[in-house]
Amino acid sequence: YDRLFSVAAPGARRPDDPEDMERDFLDDINPDAKRIQIGMVEPSLATCAPESRFQWERNGYFVADQHDHSAAKPVFNRTVTLRDSWTAK
């Protein structure tokens, strides 16, 4: 998951909004808030216990999903991203 909202104050008026415009917090939902990615991991991770934590090199920290993780379909949620020093400032 990424940030749920794309702005700091969801639903708040913006300086460039017309006077009669009303905003709803749903207008500010980040379309990239939930991303599902299919990937490959070491086979032993499929049998880990729910809530097990891992660091994946160059990706971040992940936890095995408490409800959806199974050996047949492993599900990992990213909890922390790694700082990207290559990103332009």
Query: Mean per-residue pLDDT for 7-30?
Result: 87
* Percent of the chain residues past pLDDT 70, beyond the cut: 92
The size of the chain, in residues, is 89
Structural domains in the chain, CATH included, are 1-35 (no CATH), 39-81 (2.40.240.10)
- pLDDT at residue 75, rounded to an integer: 92
Q: Which amino acid is at 27?
A: D
User: How wide is the angle at C-alpha 24 spanned by C-alphas 18 and 26, nearest 5°?
Assistant: 130
pLDDT beyond 80 at 1: no
Sign (positive or negative) of CA dihedral 22, 4, 33, 84: positive
pLDDT beyond 90 at 51: yes
Residue with tokens 């702005």: 7
Residue with tokens 């700082």: 83
CB 65 within 8 A of CB 54: no
pLDDT beyond 70 at 44: yes
CA distance 71 to 74: 6
